[in-house]
Amino acid sequence: MAGCTTGKCSPGDLAKPVKDGIASQNPVLIQALGICSALAVTSFVSTTLVMGAALLFVSAFSTLAISLLRKAVPHRVRLIVQMLVISTLVILVHLYLRAYWFDMSKALGPYVGLIITNCLILGRCEGYAMRNGPLLSFLDGLGNAAGYALVLLAIALIREPLGHGTLLGMSVVPSTFKPAMLVASAPGAFLCMGLVVWVVRSIWPEEEPTEHPEAQQ
């Protein structure tokens, strides 16, 4: 991103963090990050969409905040500050769901809180936001969270119809259809994720990272 070193970013420079997060450096497909919630919340599309939205909010604004604070934070306490920022944003999401969407809060259980420990967000704060400006960091957080959310949605679109016979709570299969309980179970989540990874990597072979070597740390 040489064009951004002078403070001026071209549209291509701004689009690159988003495209990398969704495709070439996808957190789930390429880096295998955040697998726990990827398997836990994908039984239903509705919970997957809410988890994806929560992750988008937390990831984008935590990387933005860390980038703004990076020059003021002593190196020895940077991880503590990053965790505090992420935790604060997750608590805001949790309180909002508890106050305005209690049923969804119960459906997600502890997994909203576990966003705090999602290595994807901490990795982008440490590996990217600490080295780049606020706008690029915001877009990087947004792109990586979007890539993560899209994979979760793909898994949920397989699991809910096959495992429960519904889509967004509405029946989408014949009355004679018997839900595949394996797909609705945790082992089924692994199988669906493996299927999605296999299909995507078959279509788009993995590329060596060019602009994000820190993602391998």
- Give the model confidence (pLDDT) of 160-187 as tens digits: 898 888 888 788 888 788 888 888 888 8
Question: Which residue stretches of 44-172 are H helix?
Answer: 45-69, 78-100, 102-108, 119-124, 134-164
Answer yes or no: is 31 within a domain.
yes
Is 8 contained in some domain?
Answer: no
Residue 79 pLDDT: 93
**Residue matched to tokens 């279509």:** 203
Name the DSSP class of 129: I
Which pLDDT does position 217 carry in this prediction?
A: 40
For 65-85, write each residue's pLDDT tens digit.
Answer: 999 999 999 989 999 999 999
Q: What is the pLDDT of residue 23?
A: 81
In a domain, 103, yes or no: yes
Supply the pTM of this predicted model.
Answer: 0.83
Residue 38 lies in a domain: yes
State the pLDDT at residue 137. 94
Residue with tokens 């609705």: 184
pLDDT, position 90: 95
Residue 165 is assigned to a structural domain of this protein:
yes
pLDDT of residue 206: 60
* Per-residue exposure over 64-102, b if at least 16 CB sit within 10 Å of its own CB, e if not: bbbbebbeebeeeebeebbbebbbebbeebbeebeeeee
Number of domains in the chain: 1
What phi and psi, each to the nearest 5 degrees, are found at residue 30? -105, -45
Is 166 contained in some domain? yes
CA 131 to chain centre: 21
| Predicted pLDDT at 7 | 58
Asked whether residue 208 is domain-assigned, the answer is: no
Q: Is residue 6 part of a domain?
A: no
Residues of the chain with pLDDT under 70: 1-7, 37-38, 205-217
Write the CA distances from 104 to 64, 107, 190, integer angstroms: 27, 5, 23
Q: What pLDDT does residue 215 have?
A: 42
Range of the domain at 106: 13-202
